[in-house]
Every structure is written in C-alpha cells, then in structure tokens.
A and B are shown apart, each in its own frame.
Chain A
Amino acid sequence: VASLKAMLYLGYRAIVAHPLKRLARRGTGLERFRAAYVDEGLAPVTPEDRAAALAAQECISCGLCETGCALAGADPMVRALGLHAAFRLYGRGPHELPLAAAALEACAGCAGCDALCPTGVPISRVVAQLRARAAAGVDASPADEAAPANPGIVSTA
C-alpha cells in the first residue's frame, strides 16, 4: 500500500505539479540558476576569481603568514580570527562574504605574508580579489550586468 501511495505521489509530481511549475516560472535561465544556487555558493565566477580560488585552495591553515601580518591595529575580533581565516571564508557562499569585510579591510596590503606561505599561496592577491568582490556586493557577479536584481537573493551587506 505504501509503495502504491508513493508511486501515485510521484506520478502526480511528474504529470501535474512539475509541468504547472514550469509554466508558472519567470526569468531567464541564468536568473533561475542564481536564485536556486547562489545561496549554496554556486555563483558564476570570473576566470580571475576562479584562479584566485584555486590558488587559495593550497592554503593549509598553518598560520605562518600571520607572523608577518600587521593586523595588530585591527579590531580584536578580526585579530583573533586571523588572516588565513579569509581563505576559509572564501569557499563559502557569496552572501557570506560581506561578513568577512571587516577582516579584509583590516589588511594593509603590505604583502609581508606572501614570502611566508610554504605552499605558495599568493595571499595578498587573494585578499585583494576578495576585497574587490566584497566591496562590489553580492549581485555584481559577472555576465549579468543587465539582469535585474533578483529578489530571491538576500544580501547581508
């Protein structure tokens, strides 16, 4: 009986509900993609962003960069978090990037960290890239400058 009910429900989804939903939906494919996936961190990225993300993946969170980092003047919360936290924040959804804005702003851009990374992450370049992205906001992702702001995305900025 249970499997019959399940089959009926699946049939209803396939024959009635899904076609109706397809008829009702609006917007381009890209907009719908973004509405569905940006919150999960699957936003479209530029080739530069992608290159920076790949470089950042080499980070092993050893913290050696922090010894050359003059974050001492920054907010205590930012200092406690440290610079390499930026890499962990990097992989998250773009809607979380604004949360890292304070940490990213605290970077003086001295590039003292670059020579300290054992795995060769171009830290100052990654931080600069993240800053630009955080400053540009969530919706300024590539390839859809003409697209209207999507109400499905809640900006935390």
Chain B
Amino acid sequence: VTAPLEADVLVVGGGMAGAVAALAAREAGARVVLVRRSPGATALSSGAVGVAPGAAGRDAPLAALRGPVEAAQAHALRHPDHPYAVVGAALGALPEALAFAARALPLLVPALDRPRVLATPLGGAAAAALCQRSQASGDLLAARGPVAVCGFRGHLAFDAGLVAAGLARTARRGGPEAFAVEVDLPFDDPAARPHELARGLDAPGAAERLGEAVGAALRGRGAGVALMAPVLGLDGAARAAERVAAAAGLAVAETLSDVPSVPGLRLQAALEAALRAGGVEVVTGALAGPAIPGALVEVAGRVIRARAWVLASGRYVGGGLARRGTLREPALGLAVQAAEGREAGVHLALRPAASLTVRDRRAPQPLLSAGLRVDARLRPLDDGGRPVHPRLLAAGAVVGGHEQATDGTGLGVAILTGWLAGRAAAGGIA
C-alpha cells in the first residue's frame, strides 16, 4: 500500500479551466494534483479563445467590435446568470487571467485591447481574445492586403471558395478583399482526415513543399496573407505553419477550426505540456465515488488527499454533466440547476433532459445552459442555495448559466473561472 498523495489542491478535469486552475494554484505556491480522464471540449474547440461576442450587430463594421474586457462586461449585464455576472467584481481580473493563460501557453499570442477577428472554416468572422500563433496573421483587422484562401486540390474537407465568398461579405464591414486559389498537397492522400493532414505536414520537408506551392500560386496576386485549412501541424514544436510561411514568402494563417479540430488538439497538448512544466502532478483516471475536500479519494489506484478541490469537469462533452433520464453531476453528485428554473420555482433539472429543449432554435435552451450554480466565490451551491463545502470550488463549463458551446464565451469563462478558482483554492497556504 502506497502512502496517499498529499496535496493542497485537487483539480478534477484537464481541459482549459482545470489546467488554468492547477497552474494558478501552483503559481500561488500550492502543491497541486490534477485528475483527468481524457481530452474534452477544449480539444474540440476552434483553437482560439473567445471571451465574449463583441458584436454591435450583424452588419456593424468590424472596427466597431468591442475589446474582450468590454465585451465581457456588456455580456454580463445582459445575462445575469452568466458566470461573468455571477463572479461580480472579480470579472475585473479578466485581463490578468488572460495574460496568465497566454504566458502559460506559449502557442498563444497575448490579447490586444481590440478583438482579433478570425475567419471560420465556413467563411464567417468571429471575434477572439487570444489565438494561436498559426492563426494570428489571419486577423482580418490587421490584414495588409487581400486574403488568399488556399484550398487543397482534390481534397473536399475545406472549401476555399465558400470561405472566400463569406469573407467577401465581411469586406463590406471593413474586412479585406478575398479570393480563392487551389494548391497541391505535398503528399497524395485524398482521404486523409484533418489530424492526418496535420501530421503529414509536421514531417520534414512537407510544410516547405506546401509553402512553395502556395508561393507559386500567389506570385503576383498581391495577397496580404494566405489563409489555409486549420491543419498546419499537429505538433506545436514542429512549427509547421511558420515553415509554410517561410517557404511561401508571405504571411500564412489558419482559419478557426470546426470539429474534429487540429488547433483544439494543439491547445490541449499545450495545456498538458504546461502542467508538466509547472510541476502539477497529473493522474489519469476517473474520480471513484462522491467525496468532499479533505477526504481520501482513489483515482486509478492512487489515493489522494487534498485540502481544497476545484471541479472543472466540463459540461456534456467533458463528462462533467450527464443525462441519465435527468441531469446529473456524476463525479460528486452535486445539484444541477437548469436556467430559468429558479425564477419559476421549478427544478427544471429534475425533469427529463429531453423536455429541456425548446423548439425555437434561437431561443435560450435550458438544457444547454444547465450546470452547477455557484456563488460569487465559485463555490457550488446545493438545492437550498448554500455552499456545498467551503473549500469546494467549480470552474469552467461545469458551472451553468451560459450556453458555453454556442455563446462565444466558453474558453473565456474557463480561463477566468479557472484562474479565480485556482487562486482561491490555494489561498491561505503559502
């Protein structure tokens, strides 16, 4: 029998929120154990960090988009159940939390005062606070000339024509002009899936050959940036995007990603590298049975004891919430709250999950914003509105009140609440 793994903070969940919480607690001097089962929603994300939709309207000029902090404040005012609103004055720590995440994850470029406007793989434009280095030159507000959207000849996964047509609409809002070209892949694999393309480009010589093809296709066209499918390398250390750009002789950027997401996988890999570098003990496995902070828990044969816990287990994709007839929080058995239920005096979360969707696609969906209810210090609340435990905190998508998959605030909430919860959990230790 091995001795229990003693720590100050136990983090449950290894996505953006859990990793940021663990790193923030580590920075505050705590000994941290992070338990995670598998990659989750972070690995399926676009690869960039959206803090809040800065939209001033669908057709508003891009230059009128609000900066990340201002957008988050505006979002909190409009959505009183949103974590940005629930944390109250702590929302002011958002710039610090974003800067912390950008420092911890070298593949991200730091936030600006204005949003970065990045192209989606379907030709839309989305505001992001942080983005990966491979996406940064695709910022439509910083493009120095027309955007050349490069598709791969014979490959159907990325439709350059569609993206260029979509960006032409954005051009009316002050974005750059766009046109589509096709280039040859440096290897013949018409059925390759995104992560296989990315792995192929990591190989020595492949990214260079692709870059030469891009450079040849765009010679004399005056393009400011070549925008490509989000498959430029799976291994961040291989720097495939930079190699393509160097060989092409112009700026190269990826679009945001749909699922399956290579940039999302890179982001997840960067989190894991940061946890290793930061001295966080990572245990792979599921938490077995409900327990409370301070108690011994067993994960994959390791016994762990920690004074404070941060639950960052995600929403449905991460497995932090499960639909088994009704909505459950499987790790600790905490009370799940569905939005609107409180006001109506009804426990929506106790109803069958299928009844929590409404027909109007644009209306708020109680099922999609369900999660834990927390107080301003991010402590989960029980049915009576009292904190479950003084040293149990929640962060990220497991906290309810926002439709994190669609409202454009998912990773922003993960970073803010992760950072706040990590520091709070480590509080009073050092």
Contacts and interface: CB of A to CB of B under 8 A. Distances in A.
A82 B195 CA distance: 12
A117 B39 CA distance: 7
Interface string A61-98: 01110110000100010011010000000000000000
A115 B36 CA distance: 10
Contact of B44 (A64, A117, A120): A64
Nearest to A74: B191
Given A72-B196, A115-B284, A64 B316 contact: no
A94 to B, nearest CB: 26
A119 B260 CA distance: 16
B38 A117 contact: yes
A67 B319 CA distance: 19
Given A62-B259, A72-B196, A76-B191, A119 B319 contact: yes
Nearest to B268: A64
Interface residues of B, number: 23
B319 A62 contact: no
Interface in A110-140: 115-120
A60 interface: yes
B195 A67 contact: yes
- Counting chain B CB atoms within 10 Å of each CB, the highest count among A63, A76, A82 belongs to A63
Interface string B306-337: 00000000101111001000000000000000
B265 A67 contact: yes
Contacts of B190: 76
A146 to B, nearest CB: 38
Nearest to B264: A64
A62 B38 contact: no
A76 B189 CA distance: 9
- Counting chain A CB atoms within 10 Å of each CB, the highest count among B38, B260, B317 belongs to B38
Interface in B35-66: 37-41, 43-44
Nearest to B320: A118
Nearest to B262: A67
B405 to A, nearest CB: 11
Nearest to B37: A120
B183 interface: no
B317 A60 contact: yes
A80 B317 CA distance: 23
Contacts of A118: 37-41, 314, 317-319
B193 interface: yes
A82 B44 contact: no
Interface in B235-264: 259-260
Interface in A14-54: none
B286 interface: yes
Interface residues on A, range: 10 to 19
Contacts of A62: 44, 259-260, 317
Given A118-B40, A120-B37, A80 B314 contact: no
Given A63-B259, A82-B193, A116 B39 contact: yes
Contacts of B37: 118, 120
A60 B265 contact: no
A117 B190 CA distance: 27
B346 to A, nearest CB: 27
Contacts of B316: 60
Contact of B43 (A64, A76, A80, A120): A64
Contacts of A64: 38-39, 43-44, 260
Contacts of B317: 60, 62, 118-119
- Counting chain B CB atoms within 10 Å of each CB, the highest count among A60, A63, A116, A118 belongs to A118
Contacts of B260: 62-64, 66-67
A63 B43 CA distance: 10
Contacts of B318: 118
Nearest to B39: A64
A130 to B, nearest CB: 21
A60 B193 CA distance: 19
Contacts of B314: 118
A63 B286 CA distance: 20
Contacts of B191: 76, 79-80
- Counting chain A CB atoms within 10 Å of each CB, the highest count among B40, B190, B265 belongs to B40
A55 to B, nearest CB: 13
Contacts of B43: 64
A75 to B, nearest CB: 9
Contacts of A116: 38-39
Given A62-B44, A118-B40, 9 more contacts: A64-B39, A66-B193, A67-B195, A67-B260, A76-B190, A117-B38, A118-B37, A118-B38, A120-B286
Interface of A: 60, 62-64, 66-67, 72, 76, 79-80, 82, 115-120
20 contacts: A60-B317, A62-B259, A62-B260, A63-B260, A64-B39, A64-B43, A66-B193, A66-B260, A67-B195, A76-B190, A79-B191, A80-B193, A82-B193, A116-B38, A118-B38, A118-B40, A119-B317, A119-B322, A120-B38, A120-B286
